[in-house]
Amino acid sequence: MKKQTGMTIALLFFIILLPITAATAGADQICVRFGISDPVCVVYTAGQGETGISYSAKEGQYVSSAGGWVVQDDYSEEGLLADEAALLEYLNRHSRELGGTTVTLLRVEEDGYLYDDGISYLSVLGDSISTLSGVTDTALYNSNTQGNAARYRNPEAASNETGATLLLERSQTWWNQVAEKAGYTLLVNSSVRGTMASNGIKRCRQLGADTNVEGEMHRNTAPDTIVVYLGTNDYRKKDLTADQFYEYYRKLLKKLCRIYTRAQIYCIDITDCYAPGLSEELLIDQEPGMTAEQWDGTSYRLQHFNRQIALAVQDQNQQEGEERVHLVELSNQNQSMMLTLDLEEDEDMTQALAVNCGAGKTWLSLHPSAAGHRIIADAVLAVMGGGQVPEETLFPEQKCYPLEASGAGEETEGSIWKIDTEGAYYSSDGARLYLDQRTAQEDTVIGKIQIPVVCVSRDLLEDTSDEVHLWLSVMTADGSGQIRETRELIIPGDLLKEAFLKGFHRKGRAVSQLAGVSAVLRWERGGRITEGIYTDCCYVGAYLEIPVDISLSANETLLFGKDQTTKILIDSHLEEIDND
């Protein structure tokens, strides 16, 4: 929030100091008030050749040389006072209309910016995640933001000149939520599609106003608070190391602190996204003790880049001698953020815009939905309030294991049923697929079932409120084939997506021979299947553990299956082949 600075003015003996009231000045006099916090009023008589302003009252320089005073409610160029002569000229010119009233002057700091105007201003420096058409691509308070490429499209914006495609309302953006809840007015959002820390340095001066806007803004106005949300594009750039990223980020912070001497700065670290240009070797990123054979799909590169952001913040504060720069550890909500990724967001991108995707891949998964923007806003507000971003606890009662981790799904004395699809078969009408069955040797209770999910339709992952509906049927023990109970078994959408995200950075190729039907699957990093009959699906590759608590009498048979229309592949005998 804005820091109000008290002003102590050592006035010369001939200066007349009067309380600031309606009767302060006579009909031919003007009360010149310096500042709005702890102001001091100097009475000036129209037509005099001096104001009687002490040296300490005009400490610093005037506007023409980066400092001085601005007339509070005059948004024209004549309200920017270059020297004392300009002030005298201004007062004499307006003596008739200002006589007997007060003129308030706002101080321009030595950095050339205006802070103490009674309004708390917020500016943002970011990449496409922070864009919005009608805001970040227009020049309202800073002329240099005109035409900045946006990624999110505001449905209420009059124009969309830079081709933004992802629909998001202004009220849903993280920065608008922060501004409204923390009491800020948005000054400048200088966010551009594709920005990295290295080229974001060039836009540091876009965060203050450079245009007088009648009735609204002086061109010297600076942000009281700056939020930097950069690093995602740096992370995805395969020829950039974490050490190099630190150098760029540190230079960025140095420049911001040098330009905006009174601004508080908040730096949001990054969460995971689809990075098609990154190989397995780059994702491991020389993590000590980690080999390709041991790799579990974790992006150690992401962890290393976030350490560099934290280190840059720490080093900048050490240089400043105070805590002006604050770290927002959004990465504490990494899985929650990934659950909000739009998996089909860039279907409409052209090859020209898909420069980081590789040949033939015009799609990405890196922009959060409105739910993700809420998480970002909450993280920033937590740190602004003096707290920390909490560590996430996702689905504590749910479990998922990689398909190859056979030990994770071992059966334990009847309580867990690990599905084996080797004997899977279709019903006579082809409408149902029977995946497995189990006959009880004695009275027993099946507490949990572990389902080997290979892939699932993308639309089920896209909306985690969706569910996959399977079924369990209990066949009586008399051999008649009669079904005494059928129960619906539901796989929650959030569990599916959690499992999908755990293998997000893996790629592979395999063959399924389920129920005599052969299918080849090839999936790329980011999960999309790009070959075979499942090309509208994303690879999951995990056993999902679902509670069922179903009782069986001795010799009763429990059948597990799915309807043929359900968009999910369940196969415990997937044969992986070389991904050439």
201-259 tens-digit pLDDT: 999 999 999 888 888 888 889 999 999 999 999 999 989 999 999 999 999 999 999 99
- For tokens 């689809």, the residue is 274
Of all residues in the chain, the percent with pLDDT exceeding 90 is 44
pLDDT of residue 46: 66
Identify the band that residue 402 occupies on the pLDDT scale cut at 50, 70 and 90. Answer: low
Q: Sort residue 380 into left (φ over 0), alpha (ψ -120 to 50) or beta.
A: alpha
Q: Which helix (H) or strand (E) holds 235?
A: helix 232-236
25 vs 520, more confident: 520
How many other CB atoms are there within 10 angstroms of residue 239's CB atom? 7
Kindly tell me if the per-residue pLDDT of 580 is higher than 60.
Answer: no
Phi, psi of 453 (to 5 degrees): -90, 120
Kindly tell me if the per-residue pLDDT of 42 is higher than 90.
Answer: no
* Average pLDDT in the chain: 82
Identify the band that residue 474 occupies on the pLDDT scale cut at 50, 70 and 90. Answer: very high
Summarize the confidence of residues 503-516 as an average pLDDT. Answer: 88
Identify the band that residue 110 occupies on the pLDDT scale cut at 50, 70 and 90. Answer: confident
- For tokens 């908040």, the residue is 266
- Catalogue the E-assigned strands of 145-296: 152-153, 166-167, 185-191, 225-229, 264-268
Kindly tell me if the per-residue pLDDT of 363 is higher than 50.
Answer: no
pLDDT of residue 396: 57
pLDDT tens by residue, 136-189: 999 889 989 998 999 899 998 877 888 887 889 999 999 999 999 999 999 999
Q: How far apart are CA 547 and CA 448, in angstroms?
A: 4
pLDDT of residue 537: 87
How many other CB atoms are there within 10 angstroms of residue 563's CB atom? 12
Nearest CA-CA partner of 141 in 181, 183, 113: 113
pLDDT tens by residue, 310-324: 999 999 999 999 999
Q: What is the β-pairing status of strands 508-512 and 575-577?
A: antiparallel
Evaluate if pTM is beyond 0.85: no
Q: How far apart are the first and last CA of the chain?
A: 55
Summarize the confidence of residues 503-518 as an average pLDDT. Answer: 88
Kindly tell me if the per-residue pLDDT of 529 is higher than 90.
Answer: no
For the chain, domain boundaries: 29-108, 121-384, 399-577
Which of 141-155, 268-282, 455-469 comes out lowest in average pLDDT? 455-469
- For tokens 């005009």, the residue is 58
Phi, psi of 495 (to 5 degrees): -70, -40
Q: Classify residue 364 by burial, with Cβ atoms within 10 Å: 0-12, 13-18, 19+.
A: buried
283 vs 17, more confident: 283
pLDDT of residue 232: 94
Secondary structure of residue 275 in the 3-state scheme: coil
Alpha-carbon distance values, 120 to 38, 144, 184, 545 (Å)? 18, 22, 5, 50
Q: How far apart are CA 424 and CA 398, in angstroms?
A: 26
Whether residue 532 contacts residue 519, with contact meaning beta carbons closer than 8 Å, is answered with yes
Contacts of 320 (CB under 8 A, 6+ apart): 257
pLDDT of residue 50: 61
How many other CB atoms are there within 10 angstroms of residue 98's CB atom? 20
pLDDT of residue 163: 81
Alpha helices in 326-466 (DSSP H): 334-338, 370-384, 458-462
Q: Which residues of 1-14 are buried (b: 16+ CB within 10 A; e: fewer)?
A: ebeeeebebebeee
pLDDT tens by residue, 371-395: 899 999 999 999 999 999 999 876 6
Nearest CA-CA partner of 6 in 30, 34, 31: 34
pLDDT of residue 358: 35
Kindly tell me if the per-residue pLDDT of 438 is higher than 80.
Answer: yes
Q: How far apart are CA 244 and CA 283, in angstroms?
A: 16
Of all residues in the chain, the percent with pLDDT exceeding 70 is 82
Token representation of residue 307: 């350490």
pLDDT of residue 27: 62
Whether residue 322 contacts residue 313, with contact meaning beta carbons closer than 8 Å, is answered with no
Token representation of residue 234: 């740096």
Q: How far apart are CA 210 and CA 33, in angstroms?
A: 25
Nearest CA-CA partner of 572 in 524, 529, 525, 515: 515
Token representation of residue 299: 């992006």
Identify the band that residue 484 occupies on the pLDDT scale cut at 50, 70 and 90. Answer: very high
Kindly tell me if the per-residue pLDDT of 32 is higher than 90.
Answer: no
Q: How far apart are CA 275 and CA 400, in angstroms?
A: 23
Q: Classify residue 552 by burial, with Cβ atoms within 10 Å: 0-12, 13-18, 19+.
A: buried
Summarize the confidence of residues 275-287 as an average pLDDT. Answer: 87
pLDDT of residue 376: 97
pLDDT of residue 60: 38
For the domain made up of 121-384, the CATH class stated in words is: alpha beta
Whether residue 468 contacts residue 460, with contact meaning beta carbons closer than 8 Å, is answered with yes
Which of 43-47, 63-67, 191-195, 434-438 comes out lowest in average pLDDT? 63-67
